[in-house]
Structure 1
């Protein structure tokens, strides 16, 4: 039986992935009493925030993400300084596509509009600058200088340490069993019952499981994604001087393919497909479906064709979960019936870099502060 914890928190945050950690960090930073709950023991690899690397970039076709990224870079630098941990490596970021591709044009237009430093590279310049790529003559590039790699697992650890240092409380290995709306909101886990003025749900692929008893289901799709690592034929050829990249290769695949230079596994580049297959998050490690084999075959063809300096079969394959919204934009909003329950969800495989501002916005919604950003694009009512 769960024991009742007498303290009234300003907020309880459910889910200690990167979004939940940044939300709790903003609460603690603003001297509010916060409890961060995590169903698994930390660190773990069951959600969407594990692993060693993520891409950071300003290159987006949407204005609202480019605006947010300005502050994200500042907060990432602030957390680096406060924690004394290096969390970002600038490698540059390369967007690849055909010059008539609508999304490619939209990215270029948005970067120009917001005065983000970038360089347009025609196919000849691409070949000169990035000789490791073997690209067809109609491929062009956008080279964004400030892009690079975030050290994901180090970021989670740094934030969790800072939350505790700032007076926040983290309880891991406590799965939420019941949420009772009201003021205060009551949360019962497998071991204890807690109360808070507000609740923030950042539970990734488990979001709808928590929302079902609260009378709402979001149009979220949980996907299991294969993250593949490919061995260099010549050691060091995809290391220090190779960029992160992201591109549309419609001749090979309907979804984007992205890559990061060799890092977590020496001599291996991370190249993955920005898509996955429907899966229950509690069954993430069950045997693969045949459609997952297709995803890996697409990547094998891509590597063989476009990155001939890598072995064409993955050396290591890991699993990750995406929680996608229909438009692949985030959900950052209040519960329609319970204003003190805040939801952050649908990060659609691109939320890690934006988590400093997502956490800030969820904190603002929770404390009814003036919002720093227009959240129209992130409201539940758009569905």
Structure 2
């Protein structure tokens, strides 16, 4: 293999939202960083493309809310640097039966973290949203101010541009096949399928749905991250109601803690359409996906009919997009040193389990801290340790299994 020129402080493998944010954070600190992507930049094969992702504070796990608050601030900082908007703010609304374990944990987390919130009965929900949401009499709603929609492809492009402006080197169509220690002078060699070799003092792996495959190849580690094929669905708003569901009309991002777990965003990316999807998908090989849309079935149709009082056409989605989750058994991230022969010279960040995109800026900051300083501040990383799966293959055991277990649909 030929050595491909420059030496770098850090090589980042994978240029989705996490890798792009990490490259930006490292370049921002004045260090020389190389960002490698196995496909074209801004490709649609992974998890960091498309037209919308939600941002919300409401998590059953109380350790995510501070991360969201920091990430929200970092999104705005990046927007101010680049000069355009990728983060569109609107409130967030959760709903479900009051005895639902996940929803109860969400409310408890709001209380523990002093997050401003309101718990609404079905009548108050109708008044709050001028009849746009209709809840069963025995359901409750949870209203919080911090919500919004992020434009994924535009956001990844923004962080790549900001990294480039700060001196980062960006290279796409570089499939990494080997990561190994430089035994002679320390550091890490990163080798690609076309025979190129790059040297860095440190390395970061943010390979998304390819994380398990790549880590098994380069280190023998079998990380329990399961790629899931998921389908994003857009539904037609019935004529005359289009303005009611616009983000400019204050319509919120939303989540329904029911079976299945349903989420959605205001009408923003496609005129007259609203995004309503199911959290989950079916196991896949990221290199051999069928790309066939997941059939959502009757529960979603019925949910739309009942919650929107005929304002949304529930006959079926009018357009769909394919995406992938990278699921861990417990739904928590993996952010840690790879260890083994690599020690602290390789940091991995993956398994974002369908709720990571909003966290891109803060994960980038955390990973940059780890790779450059060996530690981070402001975030407790014990929940994201690699070693938790050695202690228990299921990872962190949670009381609200109804949300964690909903991600594996063999549809």
TM over 0.5: yes
TM-score, normalised with respect to structure 1: 0.94
Deviates more, 1:90-99 or 1:175-184: 175-184
What SS class does the counterpart of residue 360 from structure 1 fall into?
helix
How big is the alpha-carbon RMSD for the aligned residues of Structure 1 and Structure 2?
A: 1.5
Residue 196 of structure 1: aligned partner: 200
Mean CA deviation greater in 271-280 or 115-124? 115-124
State the alpha-carbon separation in 2 of the partners of residues 286 and 320 from structure 1: 9
Contact preservation (8 Å) 1:226, 1:296: no
- 1:208 paired with 2:215, answer no
Query: Deviations 1:139-190 (Å, cap 9, x if unpaired)?
Result: 1111111211112222111111101000001101111122223432111113
Shift of 1:286: 4.1
Query: Structure 1: any 5+ residue segments left out of the alignment?
Result: none
Distance in 1 of aligned mates of 2:71 and 2:168: 22
Instruction: Give the 4+ runs in structure 1 shifted more than 6 A.
Output: none
Give the C-alpha shift of residue 6 in structure 1.
Answer: 2.8
Pairing 1:379–2:388 present: no
SS in 2 for 1:64: coil
Partner of 2:91: 92
Asked whether 1:244 is paired with 2:253, we answer yes
Q: Who is 1:266 aligned against? A: 271
1:293-322 alpha-carbon deviations (Å, 9 max, x no partner): 2x3443223222322311111000111100
Whole-angstrom distance in 1 between the partners of 2:283 and 2:374: 37
Task: Tell me if the contact between 1:284 and 1:319 (Cα under 8 Å) persists in the aligned partners.
Answer: no
Structure 1 position 320 matched with structure 2 position 319:
no
Q: Distance in 1 between matches of 2:145 and 2:133?
A: 18
- Look up the match of 2:180: 180
- Equivalent residue for 1:298? 299
| Normalised TM-score (structure 2) | 0.88
Distance in 1 separating the partners of 2:169 and 2:178: 20
Matching residue of 2:230: 225
**2:279–2:354 contact (8 Å) kept in structure 1:** yes
Q: 5+ unaligned residues in a row in structure 2: which ranges? A: 390-411
Q: Distance in 2 between matches of 1:73 and 1:275?
A: 25
Alpha-carbon distance in 1 for matches of 2:202, 2:369: 11
Does the residue aligned with 1:281 lie in a helix, a strand or coil?
Answer: coil
* C-alpha distance 320-190 of structure 1, shift in aligned 2 (>3 A): same
Q: Look up the match of 2:3.
A: 4
Between the two proteins, the alignment pairs up a number of residues equal to 374
More off after superposition, 88-97 vs 361-370: 361-370
Residue pair 1:134, 1:305 contacting (<8 A) in 2 also = yes
- Residue correspondence of structure 1 range 318-357 to structure 2 within 5 A: 318-337=321-340, 338-339=342-343, 340-357=345-362
Alpha-carbon distance in structure 2 between the residues aligned to 1:219 and 1:178: 20
Distance of aligned partners of 1:286 and 1:10 in 2 relative to their CA distance in 1, 3 Å threshold: same
- Deviates most, 220-229 or 59-68: 59-68
CA distance in 2: counterparts of 1:207 and 1:369, whole angstroms: 22
Q: What's the counterpart of residue 366 of structure 2?
A: 361
Does the 8 Å CA contact 1:60/1:107 hold for their aligned counterparts? yes
Deviations 1:88-132 (A, max 9, x none): 111100011111222212211211222222211111101112212
Give, in angstroms, the shift of residue 370 of structure 1: 3.7
